[in-house]
Structures are given as C-alpha cells and as structure tokens.
Structure 1
Amino acid sequence: MKQLFIVLLIVFLPISLLASPYSSSITLFLKGYMSEIEGKQDDAIEFYNMALLANPESAAIRSELALSYVKKGELQKAKSLLLEALKIDDSNRMVLIILGSLYSSEGNLKEAKAMYEKCISIDKEDTEAYLFLGSIFIAEKKYDEALKSYEKILTYDEENVIALYYVARLNAEMQKYDTAKRTYERVIEIKPYFIPAILDMAILYEIEGNFDKAMELYQRVVAIEPVNKKALSRIANIFVRKKEYTRAIHEFEKLSDIDRSDLSIRVKIGLLHLEEKRFDEAIREFNILLAATPNNDTVRLYLAIAWKEKGDLQKAKEEFLKVSPQSEEFLTALRNLTLIYIKTKTTEEGIKTFEALLENMKENVELHLMLATLYEEKEDYGKSIVLLEKAKIVEPKNIEILYQIGMLYEKKGDTDNALKYMEEILTIDNEYPNALNFIGYTWAEKGINLEKAEEMIQKALKKKPDDGYIVDSLGWVFYQKGDYQRALSELLKAHKTLPEDPTIAEHVGDTYIKLEEYEKGLHYYNLAKELEKKEEKKRNLEEKIKRIEDKKR
C-alpha cells in the first residue's frame, strides 16, 4: 500500500516541481522511505540526511528522520530534529505526536501534555492525542481528568473500543464497579472477542466474591484462546479459594502443559497435593523440581515439610539440614528441626548439630535461640541463658531474646533477675503485653503492688484481649484483692480458652473454695492434678484436696 502511494505521488507530481531545486530532495526522501520499508534503517537515515541538506527548511523530512532515530534508540538526535521541525511548522501533527511521546518517555509529563493539547487545539477530534493525553493523566493518578479525555472521544465516536475500555478500567480503579461492568459489557457487545475486557470484568466479579460469574467469563476467554495463561491461572486460583484443590491441580496441569519452563506452576501443584495430604504426590513433585533446580531452597523446604507431615521425621531432618544457612528459608528450617529434635527426644543430636553450625555462624541470633531451646528442654537453664546472653550482644534490643532470658531465670527460681529483664523490655516497648503480664502476675502472686499489677495486666489485655494467660493473671489479681466473684468470672474465661492448663484450673478451684463452693473447688483441683505433669505440684494439689475433704467431714 505504501509503495502504491509513492508511485502515485511520483506520477502526479507537477513537471515543474520535478525540475525544481527540490527535486533531488524528493528523490532522496523517497529513497529513504523505501529503505525504511525494506528495514534498512541506516540507509534510510543516510538518504533522509541527504534530503535534508537539499531542503533544509523541511519539517516533514526532519520528522521522518527523527522517527528513524527513534527506531534506532537515538532519542536525543530525534528530539533535536523535532524541536527544529517545530520551529519551522508548529502545527505539524506528526512532530507534535512524536515529540509528546519522547517527553513522556523522559518523564517530562508537562511538556508531553502540551504537545497533545496542541494537537487537540488543531483538530478537536484527534483520537490519538486524546488517548495519549489520557495515559499521562493515568500516570499522574488524575483519574477524573483521564476519564474526561476518553469520554471526549466518545462524544464523536461512541463505539471507539479503546476509549470505552479505558473508561471501564478507570471506573474500576475508582471502585465504581457497576459503571465499570456496564462499560465492559458495551465493549464486549461491540467487540465480542476483546479478551482484555473480558478478563478485567471477570476480575471485578472476583473482587465482589461472585466466583461463578468470574469463572464463566474466564472460561469464555479459554474458549476464544485455549492457551490463555492468565485465564487458566485465574480459574485455578478460584478453585484454590473455594478449597477445591483437586480441580485446581487439574487447571494448573493445563498451564504446565502450555509452559513447561514455568516451574512455579509445578510448585503450586506440589503445595496443593500437600494441602490435600497426598504426601507421596507432593514429595514426587518437589523431588522432580529439585532435580531441575538443586539449589532451590524454597522447594527443599517444601520437600522437608512434606516428609515431616507424612511422619518420616528422619527424612524431614535430612532435607531441613540441606537448606542453605544463607537462605531466607533457613530460619523456618531451624525452627522445624528444633521441634523434631524435641519430639523425637533427640535433643543431644540437635545440640551437636546446632553447635557445629554455630562455629561458622557466631552472630546468627536465631541459631542461638533454637540451641537455647534445646538446652531448656534438657532443663539446663544456665546453658540456655549463656547462649542467649551471647545473642543479646549481637542484638541488644531484641525483645524475644530478653523475654526468653527472663523466663529462663523464672524457671531457675530467680524471680528478681526475671523481673529485671521484663523491666528492660518495657524500656524498649512499654506496651509489650507479655512483659506487662509477667510483672503484673508476679506481683499478684506475691500479693504486692496489686493496683499497679491490675493496671499493667489491663494494658496487656488491650493488646491481646483473647490471651488466656493474661485473663488468668487479671483473675488472680482480683483473687488477691479479695474480689472473688470478679476473680471467678475472669478465671472461668481463662479456663475456657486454655482448658488443658493445670495452673488456671487450680486458680478456679482456689476461687470456688473461697466462695465456699467446695464441690466445685474439688472438681477443679482434681482436674488440675490430672493435667499437672510436675510431681511437686501434684503433691501440693493432693494436700489441698485432702484439706478440703477433711474440712467437709
């Protein structure tokens, strides 16, 4: 078509013009144009430059030459030529449009807008200029202005699909979903196979929670384009959200068939098998992935978790230990290993493993914490404290470390040191609920500072209103203040939250005894004795039970 245009141009040029001084310029320009059509960009630039030498006042030659430079990525040369062309002819539309695009690519949106607005002042129905102007307003997040630009197009071209599409998208961005959907429907009515509009409308239905309608639209896209990855992925994700994992796997398998190189799809399939407790299938998927990417620590972690969930803790340990200490997944691997060592009663093995790791990771705080946990499991509280004190040197304001040290001192029976660490925590975060609760409960146990204790525990409860231990502390403060009815109310709430906790059950029993409801008191004492694992505390409960039974006789 372009070649036909050139032939006609030559045929109908006046003889006088061909004989004029500009004839060589026209010939060179046409040679440049033909070179451009043939993809010979360097030749085109050479001919355009020669044409410009022959006709130095031509804005048209400058604009074509500038466009060639744009195609080569030489934007500054293009910009200089366009600015020269604009001085010659400030209403040259091609110059204005290209220059607007260059300004936009530089981030100079003010100048870009000026170019497009100039186009519109010349032609009130310049659709391309309105579209470009709208895109700038979107970049500036001036959605109302962008909307006006696109709606202007619709005043003279009411079926312009691109303008309608952007009107719909802008309404969706402004959360005017009903208007957006109506406009998308108009787009699809005009152009039934316009996939971007169908996909966008489906996403709106997803946002609104109408998964069935969204699914219908995604399936319409797949009917038009069976290998549309976005539609297939959204269908799979809807099944995930609906917890229909087997159907989700089926859709992800289709996606994987389309793009074998996208290993993230196989990861999702493995995780869904894991969610469905199909451990062998999950393990197979993760092993295949690791064969392709042996250093993928995320997949290695998933494989370890799959073995753990299956119940093969030995294989789980082996895989967790393969996770690179430099990876983000190492922390999760450490925590899982710690739990496995405790569960399998192999804390000595865990201690040796973690101490070996610590040789090369002396500043790894999490490793210190997990090793301290294993020593705590052995009831070697002193060693745990030493490890955590080393971690504290690395991170002196790490509240988790300070809290664990405080709790270890409490387990050693050194309440004064425990309180010291809890108070240190409150200098870092005066609203840290666990420290507030610890201090408040400790004072309540001693029967001192009860008003301040209540204040601290109430403050902790604002942060963790459903924490059974903090509710128990509040109940115990009321108990120590002699307000047994309020104490009972809080302690029963705590027991409901933590029915397996022997101390809370004992507190409920103590309160019933104070209220002279001995049968209920005995019931909770007996329950506490059943739940209690420490022999000394069991003996104390037995003594309480005996005293009440003797009193009843």
Structure 2
Amino acid sequence: MKKLLLLFTFFSLKLTLFAQNTPVVDKEKLFDLYQTQRYAEAAQYLKGIYDNRPDDFKNLSQIGYCFLMAGNHVEAENFYSKAYVLQPKNLSILFSLGSISNKRGNTEKAKKYYGEIVQIDSTNFNVYKLLANLYPLPTDSMKLVYLLKANRINPSEGDVAADLAEVHATHQQYEKAYNVLDIAIKADSDNLILQRAKLPIANQLKRYSEVIASGEKLLKNGADAGVIKDVAKANYYTKKYQKAIDLFKLLEAAAMQNEATLYYTSLCYRALKNYPQAAAYTQKTIDEAISPNTSSYYSLLGLVYEENNQLSLANAAYKKGLQFKVAPALYYRLAVFYDTRLKQGKNALKYYTLYLKSKPNLIADKQEIKFTKDRIAQLNLTD
C-alpha cells in the first residue's frame, strides 16, 4: 500500500512539474495582435513561447502563418519547412510553401510544392489554377494542360476561363475559345471582363451582329478602347462604314489609335469613295507603322559603314534615314561625310545648308552649328 502511495505521489509530482513547464499563451493578447493585424509581433510572441518545441506541428504552422501575414517570407518559409518535415502531405503547408516560393521568384520550387498537392488531390481546382499562372506565356504547353484541368473541374470560374480562351485564341482555336467563354458568361452574365474577352474572338468567327449588340451594351459602361475597336471592326465587316469611322475616330481623339485602327479607317473611306481621306489615313497608317527612331537607326548604320570604309553603303544608309524622318543630325552627318570622306565640297555645302535650315537645337548642338557656319564660309570662298 505504501509503495502504491509513493508511486502515485511520484506521478502526481511529475504531472505538476510538466504543467509548470508547459508554455501558456495569453489568448487575449494573441487575439488582440491578430485583430490589429500586428502579425510580426504575434510571430515573435509565439516564437518566444514555442521556439524550444521544434516537434509541434500546430505551433510551427501558426508561427509560419504569422510571419507570412507580416510579409517576412524568409522566416515564414523556415517555420513552414519545419512543419513540412513533420507532415509532408499537409495541403495547407504545401500551398503556403508554394506561395512563398513563387513570391520569392523561385517558380521551380513552387511547381514542386504544387505538384505534390496534385499527387495528393488530383481534383483540386486551386492548385491547377496556381500552376497555370506559373507559366506566363500563352504559348507554353504546360499552361494549356493546367488550364484545361482547372476548367474541367470548374468551367464557370472566370479567371481560368479568360486565360484558357486567350491560350486557345493564340493557337487560332477560336471556336474552343468562344465556347469556354460562353459557358463562363452564362454562369456570370454580369462579368464584363469575360464579355470584353469574347468580342475579338466573336469577330474572328464572323459573328458580327453579336459583337455589335454586346459591344454597344459594354460601351454604355465606359469607352473601353478594345471594345470600341472590336465594335468598329464588326461595323466595317457589315458595311456600316460611317459608323465604323465614327468609332475609330473616338480612338484617335483619345490618342489611342494604332496601325490597325488607322488601316481600317482608310478602308472605310475607300469603300465610301472618299479617296482624299482614304489616302490621308493610309499615310497615317504608314507613319504609325514606322518607328520614330528608324532614321536614327539608319544614321547609326551609315556611321558603321563609314567607319568600315564602305562609303557607298554609308551614303545610301544616311539618305535612307532621311526618307523616314528629316532629322538635323542626319543632314549634319551627310555634310561631314561629303566634306571629309568624299571630298565633294558642293554636296557638303548643300547638306550643311540643309542642316541649318532644319533648325537644330541651339543649345545642345551649339558646337555643330558653329562648325557648320564656319565650313559654309570656307566652302563659299573656295568656290
């Protein structure tokens, strides 16, 4: 009986000592830190209590969460990784580690963690969506694979539907793209993003009446440039040329025109037999298609040829540049080229004169202007 009493006393003492050593969390303090979103403080508080207990999954994941919410991805990954060792198939931990890896730019590591989720749960919509987002190019085959899997699981989810439609359209599979968007729009008829995404695809499928009807409704919610362009193109293809012109000019007024919109405007004027405007917009199309830096590129090309003693090619490159833009620098380069390389004073004088007439910058080009005036005086004397 005495032995039994001693044994009971021993175990009671051990339990008491264990209870005294067990960390006690001030739940009210922790709740206040969460409520006020002071996650960094919460993480340090929990770390101070639990850091000597590396085998407690719940505590490790809780500290990792606090560090993650505080934006400390290094510490968050550290604690989540410890939790991962204890429970490598925990979906919450795998999602967190995948997200942290992606935010830190390590997409391969993110793919690894998300891939492990797929092995555990092959019907998880979110993981396929996240995996697809790790492939930025719509031409990437794996992006298509994951988007298809996600879309099969939840065909009404708008983000995946829009991304999948874009991939299909990139591969010119417009019917597939249209159907994907159509299903998602039926599930969310007020989703303007999906409706806008559908317009260029419907245009490709020659569903012009649908584009006009849907597009005009969208335009009541704001003058979106993409919608205006698609509706204008649909009007052009249905031979409503003036209506198309009016829409294209809205883009021009907002400085949102591009080579394609100017081209279609020209086609509309041509169809209306307004040839002066057709010619004007064709010229605008050409100007839009040419980079404003093209003349500079030819100037550089001429200089390279000149330095390599390919003088005829240099001469041709400089003059080609002038066809794109009359630039003072090109006139100056040609003048010096004729003056010093070809020793043709008459042509040099011509381009020096054109250089001054082209109004070079009086401050930036001060030395070139002085040199030009001096050379013109000298060349006139020799004549």
TM-score when scaled to structure 2?
A: 0.55
User: How much has 1:202 moved relative to structure 2?
Assistant: 1.3
- On the 8 A contact 2:229/2:248 being kept in 1, the answer is no
Distance in 2 (CA, whole Å) between partners of 1:292 and 1:148 is: 45
> What's the counterpart of residue 230 of structure 1?
126
Q: What do you get for the CA RMSD once the two structures are aligned?
A: 4.9
> What's the counterpart of residue 266 of structure 1?
161
- On the 8 A contact 1:164/1:187 being kept in 2, the answer is yes
1:345-356 pair list within 5 angstroms: 347-351=241-245
- 1:267 maps to amino acid: A
- On the 8 A contact 2:128/2:146 being kept in 1, the answer is yes
Q: Pick which of 249-258 and 169-178 moved more.
A: 169-178
- 1:369 maps to amino acid: A
- 2:170 maps to amino acid: E
- On the 8 A contact 2:228/2:247 being kept in 1, the answer is no
Residues 1:257 and 1:285: Cα distance change in structure 2 (over 3 Å): closer
What secondary structure is seen at the aligned counterpart in 1 of 2:218? Answer: coil
1:63-78 pair list within 5 angstroms: none
User: How much has 1:504 moved relative to structure 2?
Assistant: 1.7
> What's the counterpart of residue 369 of structure 1?
253
- 1:233 maps to amino acid: K
> What's the counterpart of residue 163 of structure 1?
59
CA-to-aligned-CA distance 1:52-101 (integer Å, 9 cap, x gap): xxxxxxxxxxxxxxxxxxxxxxxxxxxxxxxxxxxxxxxxxxxxxxxxxx
1:529-540 pair list within 5 angstroms: none
Q: What are the ranges of 5 or more consecutive residues in structure 1 without an aligned counterpart?
A: 1-122, 356-365, 379-410, 412-466, 476-491, 526-553
Distance in 2 (CA, whole Å) between partners of 1:241 and 1:367 is: 29
Distance in 2 (CA, whole Å) between partners of 1:275 and 1:160 is: 49
> What's the counterpart of residue 208 of structure 1?
104
1:162-311 pair list within 5 angstroms: 162-173=58-69, 176-238=72-134, 240-241=135-136, 243=138, 245-290=140-185, 296-308=191-203, 310=204
- Equivalenced residue count is 278
- On the 8 A contact 1:300/1:319 being kept in 2, the answer is no
Residues 1:233 and 1:285: Cα distance change in structure 2 (over 3 Å): closer
> What's the counterpart of residue 212 of structure 2?
318
User: How much has 1:261 moved relative to structure 2?
Assistant: 4.3
- On the 8 A contact 1:134/1:147 being kept in 2, the answer is no
What secondary structure is seen at the aligned counterpart in 2 of 1:209? Answer: coil
- 1:324 maps to amino acid: L
Residues 1:329 and 1:316: Cα distance change in structure 2 (over 3 Å): farther
Q: Pick which of 251-260 and 266-275 moved more.
A: 251-260
Distance in 1 (CA, whole Å) between partners of 2:209 and 2:328 is: 44
User: How much has 1:201 moved relative to structure 2?
Assistant: 1.0
Residues 1:177 and 1:305: Cα distance change in structure 2 (over 3 Å): same
- On the 8 A contact 1:236/1:251 being kept in 2, the answer is yes
> What's the counterpart of residue 18 of structure 1?
none
* Higher RCO (CA < 8 A, seq sep 6+): 2
- On the 8 A contact 2:139/2:170 being kept in 1, the answer is no
CA-to-aligned-CA distance 1:415-451 (integer Å, 9 cap, x gap): xxxxxxxxxxxxxxxxxxxxxxxxxxxxxxxxxxxxx
- On the 8 A contact 1:150/1:164 being kept in 2, the answer is no
TM-score when scaled to structure 1?
A: 0.40
- On the 8 A contact 1:154/1:163 being kept in 2, the answer is yes
CA-to-aligned-CA distance 1:225-273 (integer Å, 9 cap, x gap): 33333322211211x3265543223323322333344344323211221
Residues 1:261 and 1:501: Cα distance change in structure 2 (over 3 Å): farther
Distance in 2 (CA, whole Å) between partners of 1:190 and 1:352 is: 66
The structure having more radius of gyration, on CA atoms, is: 1
1:514 is aligned to 2:342: no
CA-to-aligned-CA distance 1:380-408 (integer Å, 9 cap, x gap): xxxxxxxxxxxxxxxxxxxxxxxxxxxxx
> What's the counterpart of residue 327 of structure 1?
221
- 1:197 maps to amino acid: I
CA-to-aligned-CA distance 1:169-188 (integer Å, 9 cap, x gap): 34445555444323212112
Distance in 2 (CA, whole Å) between partners of 1:155 and 1:199 is: 23
Residues 1:171 and 1:269: Cα distance change in structure 2 (over 3 Å): same
1:148 is aligned to 2:32: no
- On the 8 A contact 1:301/1:329 being kept in 2, the answer is no
Q: What are the ranges of 5 or more consecutive residues in structure 2 without an aligned counterpart?
A: 1-19, 267-279, 281-290, 300-313, 352-383
- 1:306 maps to amino acid: I
Distance in 1 (CA, whole Å) between partners of 2:51 and 2:61 is: 15
- 1:162 maps to amino acid: K
- Percent identity over the alignment? 12
- 2:102 maps to amino acid: E
User: How much has 1:133 moved relative to structure 2?
Assistant: 3.0
CA-to-aligned-CA distance 1:311-366 (integer Å, 9 cap, x gap): 859578636644433224744312444577789997524247799xxxxxxxxxx5
User: How much has 1:197 moved relative to structure 2?
Assistant: 1.5
- On the 8 A contact 2:131/2:146 being kept in 1, the answer is yes
Distance in 1 (CA, whole Å) between partners of 2:205 and 2:328 is: 38
- On the 8 A contact 1:270/1:281 being kept in 2, the answer is yes
- On the 8 A contact 1:165/1:184 being kept in 2, the answer is yes
Residues 1:333 and 1:220: Cα distance change in structure 2 (over 3 Å): same
- 1:271 maps to amino acid: E
Distance in 2 (CA, whole Å) between partners of 1:332 and 1:242 is: 21
> What's the counterpart of residue 99 of structure 1?
none
Residues 1:173 and 1:263: Cα distance change in structure 2 (over 3 Å): closer
- 1:305 maps to amino acid: P
